Amino acid sequence: MNHAPLDDTTRTISWVSYVLHLVVAVSAVVPGAQMGPLLLIVAWVMDLVKRGDVLDWEASHFSYRIRTVIWAAVLYAVTLPLWLLFVLPGWVAWVAISIWFLYRIVLGMVRLNAQRPMGD
């Protein structure tokens, strides 16, 4: 299925958002990476604001990133007590969540590059 190409502005916003998400996913397992949550919030707000400006298959990428951030936040919050009670299980849980997050971001980048929607 052929899709209309992204306009330059939307493409730039999508790539910047995906790169910010990628940095967050990688930094989540690096000790002392305090910028991760801030970058994630910036990317998430950017996606929320610009989501209404895109149509068709492009919109699926914005919704996909927004859902990914919400699920990751819930998963990190649910496993936070493991950090407080037992450091190793907390670290293992967050590494697993980060790998899942990284997989979703890389998948989104690959599909964006191929100009394909998420979910088909």
* pLDDT over 60 (residue 48): yes
- Convert the pLDDT of each residue in 55-101 to its tens digit: 888 889 999 999 999 999 899 889 989 888 888 888 888 889 988 99
Query: Distance between CA 65 and CA 52 in Å, rounded?
Result: 14
Question: How far from 5 is each of 36, 41, 48, CA to CA, in Å?
Answer: 31, 27, 21
Question: What is the token pair recorded at 110?
Answer: 């690959």
pLDDT confidence of residue 34: 61
